[in-house]
Chain A
């Protein structure tokens, strides 16, 4: 366990050094990501100020959904950013080195490119979120807080499972970028409460590819809208999904034929 932490720290350090070397880009990326958040927030505010709510939720709740989306999205990106660079590793054959080392290759793949600037964004998000929540009528009690933390953990596990699946597909077909992009597009659909979408779409996003669940469940927990059945279901869903993803990963490894030059 300690070894993994140390390796992760070193990888992150390298990644950070690279960012220093490309300061200009890194700053622009930071600005870009912040802009993306601010723009959509402005849009959302403009929208719900006029409409008073959306799909049965109040103004405040809609914003909370959006803030939760960002929290989950940025945190998962923080931990799994390596997936975005994976294709290159497979094609170049570097992946073979990962397999040959005494370390879980999944860890190396996903945790190898941590972007510390995401911590900046996360901190800013936390500050704003706290301010907004303080202003709102939301008063979480200890029970809600615990539920929230559990659901965040569940989200994390689902995200982990999805990323493992993406990586597994990448190993079999070397097609990573498309799966990841589709994943991002689907998650961005959850910037607003899922009730916005028609039934078939909602079912698809909740049960088939539990992205919607992953994003909105923590928000629901915070807002006290989580029902016991949903809660239990989410635990079940997360564990099944994770289990499936690991099986897929093992299958992918067995099918792997390394890249020739």
Chain B
């Protein structure tokens, strides 16, 4: 078998060395002598035998072929996962064995590659969010969001978490799941369809009380709505409450004011849009940035700069005393990993973009979305609900959105995300469709989408 280097001769020789030692086992079965007899499997489990690379490729390839790749058709899906072009260099570099097949950098002398990359990643994340510091990444945006809620509670010693109705419902659910067996009380504001001109934050402001640890908002929100959160930040801070801003579409920060500029205390994000790809939902990369003064309550790994004994600059994992392998039951989080290789992909993509590329990419996304919105607004039975947006907006359709989406999928168009997928019980949201356009969407795509909608709504 191609992954197993030991030959039968090796095995025999190794067993005799073992037999001659104090272990004294004569055969493989003796090495398993501590397994209770009732639990020893004498025969193979009921699964296929080993297979060659060709056979496995074919079998898995056949499964892949039964899916509709997003880039094979006009695709307008967003809703927390965004399709962007990933430069070829990103994948080539992350497949270097030195990155791909190394472990967590616990031996810093021989892990400087990973550590330097994480230090650069932390810096990039802090820069684009407008925050002072960032960690070395979390599992995804939603888990970063839940960690932000828990961290807010530790910092404020308060228990109430207020979630905006515009927060991605899956993020809100993860917060609720994580809070379920803790003293935290999670208050979810009701999601409302966008209304032109209505984007104030008063419903959140009134939800803040003396036990509120944080308010969690999203920018742009689930419906693509943009809001000015600076007043909310003031209200929060006056009440001793933290403002957490979630950014599921990280490319938006190339065009939008960063949350740090309007008073965010913690910024969480989904980094998938840069470098990582869609991957049917995972692995993704959670971004987590905050103020320097909060760093000792921050969850997750951190790379920090130092010097070696020869005075050379280098990096180590630092502030580890926050973490589970030292603090055990008192750790800031049970998290033990980050999303290393995805963070690397994010960082390489952002390095290729640079200031000029990142801001231009964001503008390009916005331009495509404006073009799409304007074209769809001309389709009978389609109302564009957003005044302002980045690359995602909400339309109200003359028919239930899920039907339209299913019908268009049969015609080879991935039209968007029906809001009912998140809120099946909300009849008032059943005709809403989230539409995203990125640099990947051509004018021809947009025309196909408009034509398709015209036909199925007729």
Tell whether A pairs with B. no
Interface residues of A (CB under 8 A from B): none
